[in-house]
Homo-oligomer: A and B are copies of this chain.
Amino acid sequence: MSTPAAPVEGLRDRRRRETAVEICAAALDLFEQKGVQGTTVDEIAARAGVSARTFFRLAGTKEDAVFIDDGRFADALAGVGDSGDGIRALLSALRDVFARELQLLDADARARERYLRVRRLIAHEPALLGAAVRREVTSADRFVPEIAERVGLAELDVRTALGVAGLEMRTTLDEWARRYDRGEASTLEGLHREVRARLADAV
């Protein structure tokens, strides 16, 4: 019963992931303490226990350091099934996939706290905002051709649906961080529902 066909994720990949996590944690701490501008790559690398050279190999960019261990939503995107045809069905499926991820976050205190720190940082650091949105857009773009073919829609339709679902997510996560700063607490799933309702109301 032990996943026989698995690629036997070797020790190399495990280490790789571990150092990515280390780098993320280090960057998160330092960015919170001294701001993005105020911390150097050398500091992050030192705290993560790697050389600056390896930092760049794994993180690519100073700003990207806080994102490299979280493929959560991108992975979720890969798992969206063909749930009927039509743009409305596609958007519905995307919403479900994202809502599911938010549920998981609501249920996992540790992951939720960490993610909240990241989103609060994004809200306060414009340098991170740019990196985050660029990551989101390029990651979504990767799936457009595949999804378009699978559900038989024009790429423009797929991009529109992905855009709406992504906007709802971004708005939800922003508002989540904002409310936390005001001392209010909300569940992500509930906020997502509220954002969707307001968007539906607007359109």
Chain A positions within 8 Å of B, measured between CB atoms, are: 87-88, 90-91, 126, 129-131, 133-134, 137-138, 156-157, 159-161, 163-164, 167, 170-171, 174-175, 194-195, 198-203
Contacts and interface: CB of A to CB of B under 8 A. Distances in A.
B126 A160 contact: no
Contacts of A167: 163-164, 167
A7 to B, nearest CB: 29
A160 B198 contact: yes
A134 B138 contact: no
Nearest to A92: B202
A202 B161 contact: yes
B134 A126 contact: yes
A24 to B, nearest CB: 20
A200 B131 CA distance: 29
Contacts of A134: 126, 129-130, 133
Nearest to A134: B130
Given A131-B130, A159-B171, A175-B156, A202 B91 contact: yes
B171 A160 contact: yes
Given A126-B138, A133-B137, A134-B130, A160 B87 contact: no
